Structure 1
Amino acid sequence: MLILLLAAPATAQPAPVIYLDQGWSKEDREWYYQVSQGSTALSYDLFLNLEVATGQDLFRSDANSDRYGLITQAANPRNNPDGLPIGLAKTVVTEGRSKGTYVGITCAACHNTQLNFKGKRIRVDGGVGNTFDMMAYVQALDDALQATLADSAKFGRLAGRLKASSPEAKTDLRKRFEREAARVHEYRTRTLASAITWGPARIDAIAMIVNRLTATLTGIPENTSTPLAPTKPPFLWNAPQATWTQWRGVQQDPIQRNLTETMGVFLDVDLQSKSPSEGLFDSNAAISNLQQIENLLTRLAPPQWPEEVFGKIDRKKAEAGKALFISICADCHNAWPYTWTEPNKHGKRFLLVGLVPQSYVGTDKGQFDALRPYAITGQLSDQLPPPLKGEKVIPTDQLYEALQEAVLAKALSKLKLTDAQAADLHGYREFPLPPKPMAVYKAAPRDGVWATPPFLHNGSVPNLYELLLPASERTKKFYVGREFDPVKVGLDTRSGTFLLDTTLRGNSNAGHSFEDGPLGNGVIGPRLSDEQRWAIIEYLKSIPEQAGRVTPFGGPPASPAR
């Protein structure tokens, strides 16, 4: 089912946006697009009035937002009066050291899709942020801030727009501007500094979070890891219902997962005060918003292929593809009506996701070896829990986990939750949580996967057709653009300006290969004929079979379990 809403009149007369039935109302979508998760990238007034580095156009203009792949939209008096693009929001902090009003990055910046096809714009909520180039956007923001500091005319125009006319007002504005510009510059030159250009649809979220927590916010730059493992943002439908999330299948607790993600995108956290009583581990964590976002995602349905736009599905071919999928793929990728866990103490079942060793699937292993192995604890040494307390150098992952757990614990301590409220906040997970699996990749259900190019966790395969080839036969270099290819189902590689080179570190398109020979070491299935490939693709286009089909959170009471 399609819901067609006309966009507001504009000079360029963009095509109407086609919204797919994913179980959300118009109000749900609008709230999700603009809700703050606590990110405080730059003061709101500075952002609204900042010019681009090389001209007098505003950085926040639709033209500039579109240049970096943010999805622009008209102003909305309910929750977006300033007409920010999807993925940016106003964050108001009412207490603590970061009190003020800021622009910040939202979940929707990286978890929302727009597929363009023959002038049409198809929106996929909770999908892969397939157009947003976060690295380039932050670099451009830093360039704009530095250019304003260096150019008196630029700064003068900014001051004029902000009504800072007196010498004292201009001096105060410049001091504030310098502080905030320095923070963005540090983010660009430390958190994001990489030998690899990520390009659209990819971020190294792990390194971003770990760098901010262990190196930038602690003031210990020696702990910085070079972000060399860019991945595409995962799609969000069925995530709250699943046993494990993240590409590496290492998270179960939703509030821990979501707050930790915010730490990577300008959440203000105090990691330099001497003790918790003096502010250590304080943050402007938006716990309530994060919980509401998670609860909204429990009602998000995978998108159904819009036949009116991309063409009719060959149902007979799809049936043949389903049989192949069940025999070759379903051992890893759970299929509707899904297999679930037994009920836990809260009476909740969770959708089983496959956890496949990297050594078996053979896809890029950068996520497992890109981080610096050890970190200096510095002034935090005596504030860490046993047995880490007092240690001067510990494994990086242990410092990272200890810090994010301390920040979350302090944020939750201020809420005075009842047991029932705490259970809801933690997604009804049963504690203690099971040990995190090591060196595995998550294999989630494939419903709606057609709408999530590029493919593999690092976005190194442009379409589903190539994903079903022997890895050695895949394209080694291709352009990443915004146009959709409904035939091979993925990116139209004839468009786009960013060239993704899969021979570079972190970009490998090896593994998940269908070829003759023993399974394992990157081979996951037999070599397929072209007829078989097209049949599987047709099946993947056909699921979910029903528009707006929301997977029940907690599982259906009579679902299969194992």
Structure 2
Amino acid sequence: MKIGRAVHGLLAGVAALALISMPTFAQQAPAPPVVFLNQAWSQDDRDWYYHFSQGSAVLSYDIFLNLEVADGQELFRSDANSERYGLITQPPGSPYNPDGLPIGIGKTTVATPIGDWPAGDYAGPTCALCHETRLNYKGKQVRIDGAPANMFDFQAYIQALNAALRATLTDTAKFDRLAARLGAASPEAKVRLRERFERQAALTYEYATRTSATLWPWGPARMDALTMINNRMTANLPGIPENTSTGIAPVKPPFLWNAPQGLWTQWAAILQDPLARNFGETMGVYMPMNLHAKTPADGLFESNAHIPELRRVENQLERLAPPSWPEDVFGKIDREKAKSGKALFVEHCASCHNAWPYRWTEPNKYGKRFVLVGLTPQSYVGTDHTQAEAVRPFGITGQLSNYLPPQLRGKDVVPMAALKENIGRAVLETAVAKLKLTPAELLDLNGYRELPQPPIPDRVYKAAPRDGVWATPPFLHNGAVPNLYEMLVPASERSKKFCVGREFDPIKVGLDTTCGPGQFVLDTSLLGNSNAGHSFQDGPRGNGTIGPLFTDEQRWALVEYLKSIPEEPGRVTPFGGPPETSPPQKP
């Protein structure tokens, strides 16, 4: 069975060209009470999701546990340092996290050497690093599983990691303290440690100086994921620096509930197959891959793929419910106002965003139906246009030329999208072949999607159902609008600059934009940061205008409705369609 089509992902390991000033937030002490919502997951589901291995490997596990920050002796993995960059810290105790790492970082094992990665245990990111939210309000912390990491500054974190590695290489005392913690006492042991450390530090340095060089920092909750993945697959690991693109299109990670049920995923609606989507994410965030060997016999296209774990996380996401507004924390919902807002939503928004119980596709040949999502042309919705322009149009093939499809084979330069797609397919098919799966298992792995998928829509943005959207600030695909209220005004009246705060605003429903020391200021005038489009104003539809000019009363009614959905806590969208759907056919 053919595995996937264009392999893109949600996320990428990111950094910047040089160390730039980054926000430093005071840690919260003592830790606020955590409020979990009914999203139909057990505590074991959460604990596993927070720290499972998806195959990503950044640093040897022992080095990560004992590395110091660049400018002191505090451990880089400490709760205080993790909090500075917006990570959600966790105490030890979970069987999946015995060392008390922050959510989204876990241990992965590289069983056999792959490219620049020797066999061993490594620390690396997982889905929850960028898809887990906390909403702080009046001393409480509301945890939202599968929501975008609204406080985590991925770029600043990787910059800080690179700085810590460089400082340890150049500061003898700092390196000696690391060696002592790891029990490397003899001169020979210290030499071996330094060699291992230098190899791994070089990979992060490459991220910081080449892969994600940017014009200005992206700030919390945003990264140019697709460009980072493209750079890693076509430039860094193959050793073809000419293929590097500049990350100019930062986006916030999408929320994950209803993603397996949706017809298309990603902001730009580029994938249907869940395996391709999840595997693409791991290729972007440090999964070891060999893309510089000369032939497959020499290891070309080998990877540290953990495909059974990616299937398990997809299974869990199929039964993840969107979060319901916690009235005991954020205040009561005005049900009458929400009722008025629902009528407005059905009239002006549901044609794109859909509404429960949703409109579905017809059953495919496996008997599965999927939730229809709006595919709105960028030229119509008028939101930031840089995502379609970030990656350079053509790529140099180098040693990969002989392993492209016949129509591209032997060419020195090919369309970049085709180069990335075929590299990704080769890595994925190499990994899947080792599992020796049955046709039924392959069908399940691909989420019962018909492959190859239809052609990717050109320059559209996906409009998914809005259930639980209240828990996902900031808004628009690039996080350039701080709250739901501003999503309903004319775009010209939105905040042009705002501070990305750590407190939740339950009135306008978004981030508290009150500025404080060290907070990141998002400037919407910068390239990639536009908050134009999706505007409700007088005038003909199109060119950024999608609806009428609302009265203030109507805006607040819509906000109240968006707070109220889903109307049933813990409601899981049935995967494959409503119960009356015919059962899937045997493959």
TM-score, normalised to structure 1's length?
0.97
CA spacing shift, 1:312–1:559, aligned 2, 3 Å: farther
What does residue 416 of structure 1 align with?
436
**For 1:118 and 1:12, how far apart are their aligned partners in 2?**
14
Instruction: Tell me if structure 2 keeps the 8 A contact 1:226–1:371.
Output: yes
**For 2:575 and 2:353, how far apart are their aligned partners in 1?**
19
Give the C-alpha shift of residue 11 in structure 1: 11
Give the C-alpha shift of residue 100 in structure 1: 0.9
What does residue 352 of structure 1 align with?
372
**For 1:476 and 1:551, how far apart are their aligned partners in 2?**
37
What does residue 404 of structure 1 align with?
424
Report the secondary structure of 1:364's partner residue.
Answer: coil
What does residue 520 of structure 1 align with?
542
**For 1:486 and 1:261, how far apart are their aligned partners in 2?**
32
**Aligned pairs, number:** 551
1:503 to 513, 525, 530: 525
Amino acid at match of 1:269: M
Q: How does 1:27-42 map to 2 (within 5 A)?
A: 27-42=44-59
Q: How does 1:44-443 map to 2 (within 5 A)?
A: 44-97=61-114, 98=117, 99-443=119-463
Amino acid at match of 1:188: A
**For 2:102 and 2:212, how far apart are their aligned partners in 1?**
22
Alpha-carbon displacement from aligned partner over 1:36-86 (angstroms, at most 9, x marks no partner): 111101110110010000000000000000100110011024110000000
Instruction: Tell me if structure 1 keeps the 8 A contact 2:368–2:581.
Output: no
**For 2:245 and 2:540, how far apart are their aligned partners in 1?**
36
Report the secondary structure of 1:293's partner residue.
Answer: helix
What does residue 576 of structure 2 align with?
554
Instruction: Tell me if structure 2 keeps the 8 A contact 1:483–1:495.
Output: no
Identity of aligned residues (%): 66
Give the C-alpha shift of residue 495 in structure 1: 4.4
Report the secondary structure of 2:351's partner residue.
Answer: coil
Amino acid at match of 1:25: S
**For 1:339 and 1:372, how far apart are their aligned partners in 2?**
37
Report the secondary structure of 1:331's partner residue.
Answer: helix
**For 1:15 and 1:384, how far apart are their aligned partners in 2?**
53
Alpha-carbon displacement from aligned partner over 1:414-464 (angstroms, at most 9, x marks no partner): 111101100110000012311111100000000000000000000000000
**For 2:177 and 2:452, how far apart are their aligned partners in 1?**
56
**For 1:450 and 1:416, how far apart are their aligned partners in 2?**
43
1:545 to 544, 567, 576: 567
Instruction: Tell me if structure 1 keeps the 8 A contact 2:40–2:319.
Output: yes
Alpha-carbon displacement from aligned partner over 1:245-299 (angstroms, at most 9, x marks no partner): 0000110010111111111111111111111122111100110110100010001
Give the C-alpha shift of residue 398 in structure 1: 1.1
Give the C-alpha shift of residue 127 in structure 1: 0.3
2:36 to 19, 22, 25: 19
**For 2:406 and 2:307, how far apart are their aligned partners in 1?**
27
Report the secondary structure of 1:375's partner residue.
Answer: strand
Give the C-alpha shift of residue 558 in structure 1: 3.6
Instruction: Tell me if structure 1 keeps the 8 A contact 2:103–2:128.
Output: yes
**For 2:342 and 2:71, how far apart are their aligned partners in 1?**
53
Instruction: Tell me if structure 2 keeps the 8 A contact 1:340–1:559.
Output: no
**For 1:412 and 1:52, how far apart are their aligned partners in 2?**
39
Report the secondary structure of 1:427's partner residue.
Answer: coil
Comparing 297-306 with 13-22, greater Cα deviation is found at 13-22
**For 1:51 and 1:450, how far apart are their aligned partners in 2?**
38
CA spacing shift, 1:77–1:450, aligned 2, 3 Å: closer
Amino acid at match of 2:407: P
Give the C-alpha shift of residue 395 in structure 1: 1.3
Amino acid at match of 2:35: I
Report the secondary structure of 2:112's partner residue.
Answer: coil
Amino acid at match of 1:543: I
Alpha-carbon displacement from aligned partner over 1:510-562 (angstroms, at most 9, x marks no partner): 000000000001000001110000000000000000100000000113479xx
What does residue 472 of structure 1 align with?
492
Amino acid at match of 2:82: S
Give the C-alpha shift of residue 379 in structure 1: 1.1
**For 2:77 and 2:65, how far apart are their aligned partners in 1?**
6
Give the C-alpha shift of residue 394 in structure 1: 1.0
Amino acid at match of 1:537: V
Alpha-carbon displacement from aligned partner over 1:381-423 (angstroms, at most 9, x marks no partner): 1111121111111111111111111111111111111011001
**For 1:393 and 1:47, how far apart are their aligned partners in 2?**
39
Instruction: Tell me if structure 2 keeps the 8 A contact 1:228–1:366.
Output: yes
**For 2:470 and 2:334, how far apart are their aligned partners in 1?**
15
Amino acid at match of 2:577: G
**For 1:348 and 1:382, how far apart are their aligned partners in 2?**
38
CA spacing shift, 1:11–1:251, aligned 2, 3 Å: closer
Comparing 73-82 with 484-493, greater Cα deviation is found at 73-82
Give the C-alpha shift of residue 347 in structure 1: 1.1
Unaligned regions of 5+ residues in structure 2, if any?
1-26, 583-587
Instruction: Tell me if structure 2 keeps the 8 A contact 1:333–1:354.
Output: yes
**For 2:449 and 2:269, how far apart are their aligned partners in 1?**
15
**For 1:462 and 1:495, how far apart are their aligned partners in 2?**
13
Report the secondary structure of 1:316's partner residue.
Answer: helix
TM-score, normalised to structure 2's length?
0.93
Amino acid at match of 2:535: S
Instruction: Tell me if structure 1 keeps the 8 A contact 2:491–2:536.
Output: yes
Instruction: Tell me if structure 1 keeps the 8 A contact 2:367–2:581.
Output: no
